Amino acid sequence: MTFVPYDRPVRSAFIGLGRIYDLNMRGYVGNPDVEVVALVDPSPQRRAQRQADWPDAAAFGSAAELAASGVEVDAAEVLLPIPLHADGVVEMLGYGWHVNMQKPMCNDLLDAQRMLDAAKAGDRILRVMENYLFYEPLRRLKAVAESGAIGEVCGYHVKMVGTGRGGWDVPWSSFEWQMEQMKRGRGIMVFDDGWHKLATALWLFGPVREVRAWIGNLAVGPGIDLDTPSTLIWEHENGVRGVWDNTIAMDMYLRSDYYTNDERWEITGSKGFARVNRVTGRGVQQPSLEIYSEGEMRSYHALDDDWASSFRDSGRHWLRWLRTGDGPLMWSAQEAVDVLRFALAAYASNASGGVGVQPRQVTE
Ligand SMILES: NC(=O)c1ccc[n+]([C@@H]2O[C@H](COP(=O)([O-])OP(=O)(O)OC[C@H]3O[C@@H](n4cnc5c(N)ncnc54)[C@H](O)[C@@H]3O)[C@@H](O)[C@H]2O)c1
């Protein structure tokens, strides 16, 4: 890779202006590292709505139109529906744009390799953003685990309850492609939301040796199934074991400014524990991070625990990276493939009745 950092603001285009644009754009607002030059979405309503944020940006119905327009683009912020990720990203890398794409990267290793190959062929950077790695309470949790403040890590638990009531509006069109994903065996709970959980696991404790999974199926409407309740357990190469369970509580109201995800991360150490009480929603109204050790509970009351801030900081990290080339991408495309392998190992385990599967040995 012969990447040379930009000595001027990066000219960037948003590709896809749907629900998650509302949070992703926060890394771009007031950021001297970037100039937003283009907005792309086939929906004229979305283009008109988002143009208000960037009056000077040119708007297009497709990336191909933008590429043919003469507007110069250095990098694309790709916010496409998951089924369009692989083809869309390969296309955009082919235009010579660096790409910051959304998770999940894609559905299988073949598509992942296509994207990696396209980035290599065009000598472009491909990043798969992972906003959870920028959520301050989780960053603190990692620091606490590494500091020894709770002793040796014995294991950890991640919990996710999707609730049926509360939160922001999600347009039906956003669910349609999720249902398409579900029919391909890549559901919204284990694959889409789970991507974050598996990514944080790798980030916290490193490579995973073995995964066992029991993935459920819940019919919530005619032709609409969810991949829950599901439980995944795994062992890292360092011996630490993790477990993630997800469930749906259809009638539960959850206060949230975003999706209705009630989440927790709890690490048990030989001397105490550390727990992040919430991430996306505002379920447990305690301080977002609590640490117990030696008979005392320490509570963090002033962390930036607004989930949207994790998008802002992930976006800023990307744009700063393009200006400096410094430090890890969080995540590079190759690191994202490790997350994909982790998920694929869980599917393989589930298909074989829950036997242990090594992510390293997954082939497709
Ligand atoms: N990081 C997170 O926590 C998080 C949360 C939600 C969604 N996401 C991810 O963000 C991505 C988008 O999700 P969303 O909820 O915003 O979806 P969405 O359906 O609300 O928005 C997608 C937008 O893409 C547009 N689009 C469709 N085809 C296009 C094309 N060929 N070119 C340009 N635009 C096109 C649609 O018109 C729509 O406006 C997905 O990958 C999703 O997994 C990530």
Q: Summarize pLDDT for 216-247 with one digit per residue, the tens.
A: 999 988 888 999 999 999 999 999 999 999 99
Which pLDDT score, from 0 to 100, does residue 222 have? Answer: 87
Confirm or reject: Cβ of 162 under 6 Å from ligand 1: no
- The string of pLDDT tens digits covering residues 334-357 is 999 999 999 999 999 999 999 999
- The string of pLDDT tens digits covering residues 189-213 is 999 999 999 999 999 999 999 999 9
Residues 50 and 86: their CA atoms lie apart, in Å, by 24
Mean pLDDT, residues 172-196: 94
- The string of pLDDT tens digits covering residues 33-83 is 999 999 999 999 999 999 999 999 999 999 999 999 999 999 999 999 999
- The string of pLDDT tens digits covering residues 130-168 is 999 999 999 999 999 999 999 999 999 999 999 999 999
Mean pLDDT, residues 249-267: 97
Residues 85 and 336: their CA atoms lie apart, in Å, by 13
Confirm or reject: Cβ of 42 under 6 Å from ligand 1: yes
3-state secondary structure of 162: strand
Confirm or reject: Cβ of 62 under 6 Å from ligand 1: yes
Confirm or reject: Cβ of 12 under 6 Å from ligand 1: no
Which pLDDT score, from 0 to 100, does residue 134 have? Answer: 98
Mean pLDDT, residues 10-27: 98
Percent of the chain with pLDDT over 70: 100
Tell me the CA–centroid distance for residue 275 and ligand 1, in Å: 31
Going by alpha carbons, the residue nearest to atom 25 of ligand 1 is 16
Tell me the CA–centroid distance for residue 360 and ligand 1, in Å: 30
289 Cβ partners below 8 Å, 6+ apart?
Answer: 137, 140, 141, 144, 274, 275, 276, 277, 299, 300, 303
Distances (CA, A) of 347 to 186, 204, 213, 218, 352: 9, 22, 7, 17, 9
Residues 150 and 167: their CA atoms lie apart, in Å, by 34
Which pLDDT score, from 0 to 100, does residue 221 have? Answer: 87
Confirm or reject: Cβ of 193 under 6 Å from ligand 1: no
Q: Which of 335, 340, 331 is nearest to 134 (CA)?
A: 331
Is pTM, for the whole model, over 0.85? yes
Q: Which of 44, 9, 115 is nearest to 332 (CA)?
A: 115
Confirm or reject: Cβ of 84 under 6 Å from ligand 1: yes
Beta strand residue intervals within the chain, DSSP E: 10-15, 34-40, 58-60, 75-78, 98-101, 126-128, 153-166, 208-215, 218-221, 224-226, 230-236, 241-254, 261-269, 272-276, 289-293, 296-300
The yes-or-no verdict on residue 2 having pLDDT over 90 is no
Residues 60 and 43: their CA atoms lie apart, in Å, by 9
The phi, psi pair for 221, rounded to 5°, reads -175, 175
Best residue among 14, 73, 80 to mutate for probing ligand 1, ranked by most atoms within 8 Å of CB:
80
Going by alpha carbons, the residue nearest to atom 4 of ligand 1 is 20
Side-chain-side CA neighbours of residue 300 (13 Å): 20
Average pLDDT across the chain, whole number = 97
Residues 158 and 64: their CA atoms lie apart, in Å, by 41
Which pLDDT score, from 0 to 100, does residue 202 have? Answer: 98
Confirm or reject: Cβ of 173 under 6 Å from ligand 1: yes
Burial class of residue 243 (count of CB atoms within 10 Å of its CB; 0-12, 13-18, 19+)? middle
Mean pLDDT, residues 305-309: 98
Which pLDDT score, from 0 to 100, does residue 1 have? Answer: 62
Tell me the CA–centroid distance for residue 84 and ligand 1, in Å: 9
